[in-house]
Amino acid sequence: MSVSGILLGLINIFIVVILLLLVGAIAKWILGYLGFGPPNEVERLYLALVAVIALYLLVALLFGLPSVHILRGEASSVPHIAATPPIIAPER
């Protein structure tokens, strides 16, 4: 695996974690605005879930397991797109 691939994978992990934390913060803000915030146990459980997702993404990056990609390289890195033959008009 190249250094650029590892760097792109780490950026993907950071984007996913930041998005999940942002969703949690917005949900906490909305619930607090409505007058019933989530209990501390729920907040800790959500943070633990985000940590488990980040750990899975890191392990998937290191061992080449399938995972969710926010940023993706070229289309040739996707097997089903790379295997599709180009559409060429028939010769006459």
Give residue 50's domain range: 3-67
Average pLDDT rounded to a whole number, residues 21-25: 95
- Cβ pair 46, 16 in contact under 8 A: no
Distance CA 34, CA 43 (A): 17
Average pLDDT for 12-33: 94
pLDDT of residue 14: 94
What local confidence, expressed as pLDDT, does residue 74 receive? Answer: 56
Mean pLDDT of the chain: 81
Average pLDDT over residues 48-60: 92
91 lies in a domain?
no
In a domain, 14, yes or no: yes
- Whether 43 maps to a domain, the answer reads yes
What's residue 65's pLDDT?
76
Domain annotation covers residue 28: yes
Q: Is the pTM of this model over 0.85?
A: no
Report if residue 10 sits inside a domain: yes
